[in-house]
Amino acid sequence: MKKHQIIIDYHVYPDLDSLNTEDKLLMKSAIEARRNAYAPYSNFYVGAAVLLGNAEVVIGNNQENASYPSGLCAERVAIFQAGARYPGIEIKTVAITATSKNYVVKEPAAPCGNCRQSMIEYEQKQQQPIRVLLMGEEGQVVLFHSLADILPLAFSSSFL
């Protein structure tokens, strides 16, 4: 039996102000988007902002539903909107931030598995990495250099 390892290279910034101007602006768009989340059931508000190769920014926020599974996460609202409005335009970076009515979110919010799978589809399609910036409502910001880094061994169209 051969032993294998998956090593993920990522960057941790102490706070929002430590980001470069482009990343900071993108995260600020995600913070703005977070305010319009519709999350009356979880009280957990997520905002996402997608930076495209044509410099457009597309936002999303979580949209909940009384029939819980019918709601959608912020990342998918944003990435599907990018796909719908700008098909074929490269996706550069996705910034994600979360806050809660119940506690102060000090840790970067990890995108759920479904969102990682939905987002990696676009990375596989464009054959260029999509950077991922994560932040809670305050504190550290984590940068991953690709979706593949946070969804190793992903399913893809190559299996079909």
Residues carrying an active site annotation: 75
- Interacting stretch for ligand THU, rule CB under 6 A, among 7-15, 27-35, 38-46, 124-132? 38-46
The DSSP annotation for 108-146 comes to PPPPPHHHHHHHHHHHHHHTS--EEEEE-SSS-EEEES-
Q: Which of 16, 30, 34, 64 binds ligand THU (CB under 6 A)?
A: 64
Q: Is 80 in the site for ligand THU (CB under 6 A)?
A: no
Sheet holding 10-13, edge to edge: 10-13, 141-144, 131-135, 91-100, 44-52, 57-61
Q: Is 112 in the site for ligand THU (CB under 6 A)?
A: yes
- Interacting stretch for ligand THU, rule CB under 6 A, among 71-79, 86-94, 118-126, 140-148? 71-79
Q: Between 39 and 142, name the residue whose CB sits nearer to ligand THU.
A: 39
Structural element, H or E, at residue 149? helix 147-150
Q: How far is the CB of 15 from ligand THU (least distance, A)?
A: 22
Within 68-109, residue ranges assigned H as helices are 74-85
Q: Is 42 in the site for ligand THU (CB under 6 A)?
A: yes
Q: Report the C-alpha gap between 144 and 123 in whole angstroms.
A: 13
User: Tokens at residue 22, please?
Assistant: 């482009």
The shares of helix, strand and coil residues in the chain, as percent rounded to the nearest 5, are 35, 25, 40
Q: Between 71 and 139, name the residue whose CB sits nearer to ligand THU.
A: 71
What is the x/- site pattern for ligand THU, positions 120-139, by CB under 6 A? --------------------
Q: Is 74 in the site for ligand THU (CB under 6 A)?
A: yes
Q: Is 44 in the site for ligand THU (CB under 6 A)?
A: yes
